[in-house]
Amino acid sequence: MKKKTDPAAASAASAASAASAASAAADAAQRRQSQYQQLRAQLTAVGWISEGYVQDRGPGAGGPCYQWTRKVKGKTVSVALSREQYHWLKEAIANWRTLQSALKQMQKLSREELFETIPGPVRRKSLSKNVLGIK
């Protein structure tokens, strides 16, 4: 036998569920906004930047002790450095990696905001987080 449900109770439960979902969506949007602002603040604190790798080869072999290596048009280019240049570039490369990480996180948050708040086309099947780039 089928149980009869009270239409008023079902309507109230549906409204409560919708309110809860709206509250969760608002909380998620606020969390994204807060994280995005923190990442923007990180960007303003980044100092000098540079790509590549630096290495301390140690003394010997009559060659340079410090070396900076990077790719230019698909070719590896190496430059001998002084100790001061080595330390400066080491910090600049670390800043570059911090910047790249922050930008990657900002892109992910931006895509989350886009796909969760702005209506899109009707799809037969919902897109995965991996496809949307928010995984």
pLDDT of 21? 72
Tell me the sheet residues that pair with 81. 66
pLDDT of residue 135 exceeding 80: no
Question: What confidence category does residue 123 fall into, taking pLDDT thresholds of 50, 70 and 90?
Answer: confident
Average pLDDT over residues 3-30: 70
User: Smallest Cα–Cα separation from 53: which of 86, 83, 82, 75?
Assistant: 86
Q: Regarding predicted confidence, which is higher, 120 or 64?
A: 120
The C-alpha angle 64, 66, 67, rounded to 5 degrees, equals 95
pLDDT of 23? 83
pTM for this model (two decimals):
0.73
